[in-house]
């Protein structure tokens, strides 16, 4: 069972916007950076967001990240069928001295 809680699935139509939440605690999200990853079927994860809200070079601005307190959110606008994937939030946990992954959220673009 993941300490970072994500919804198992979200869905939206092409062109629409979706948000994926990630809930944690003061020992992880509350006091450490959050990153987000996209995993397309059969491939390795890909970094989408680092340092809570920053996009690495090459990641389109359709992807955004935010953090407030002990929760983080990934936003995706202008949804495309190619965005169908599993999305994971990640944060260091200072109490556990361990990296935590959220359980993952499957995005379906209807």
Partner 1 sequence: EVQLVESGGGLVQPGGSLRLSCAASGFTLSAHDMHWVRQATGKGLEWVSAVGIAGDIYYLNSVKGRFTISRESAKNSLYLQMNSLRAEDTALYYCARVSLNALDVWGQGTMVTVSS
Query: Which of 13, 43 has the CB closer to partner 1?
Result: 43
Query: Which of 25, 39 has the CB closer to partner 1?
Result: 39
Reading phi first (left if > 0) and then psi (alpha if -120 to 50, else beta), residue 78 is in left
| Beta-bridge partners for 9 | 106
- By the criterion CB under 8 A, which residues form the site for partner 1? 2, 33, 35, 37, 39, 44-47, 49-51, 54, 56, 86, 88, 90, 96-104
Query: Which of 17, 54 has the CB closer to partner 1?
Result: 54
Least distance CB 108 / partner 1 (angstroms): 17
Least distance CB 14 / partner 1 (angstroms): 26
What is the CA 12 to chain-centroid distance, rounded? 16
Report how far residue 40's alpha carbon sits from residue 46's, in angstroms, rounded to the nearest whole number: 9
Task: Please name the helix (run of DSSP H) or strand (run of DSSP E) that holds residue 65, with its range, or none.
Answer: strand 63-68
């Amino acid at each position: 069972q993941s300490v970072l809680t994500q919804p198992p699935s979200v869905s939206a139509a092409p062109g629409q916007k979706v948000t994926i939440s990630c809930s944690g605690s003061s020992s992880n999200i509350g006091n450490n950076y959050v990153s987000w990853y996209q995993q397309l079927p059969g491939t390795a994860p890909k970094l989408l967001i680092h340092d809570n809200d920053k996009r690495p070079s090459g990641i389109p601005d359709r992807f955004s990240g935010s953090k407030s307190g002990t929760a983080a959110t990934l936003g995706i606008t202008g949804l495309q069928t190619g965005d169908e994937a599993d999305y994971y939030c990640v944060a260091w946990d200072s109490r556990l001295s361990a990296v935590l992954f959220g359980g993952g959220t499957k995005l379906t673009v209807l």
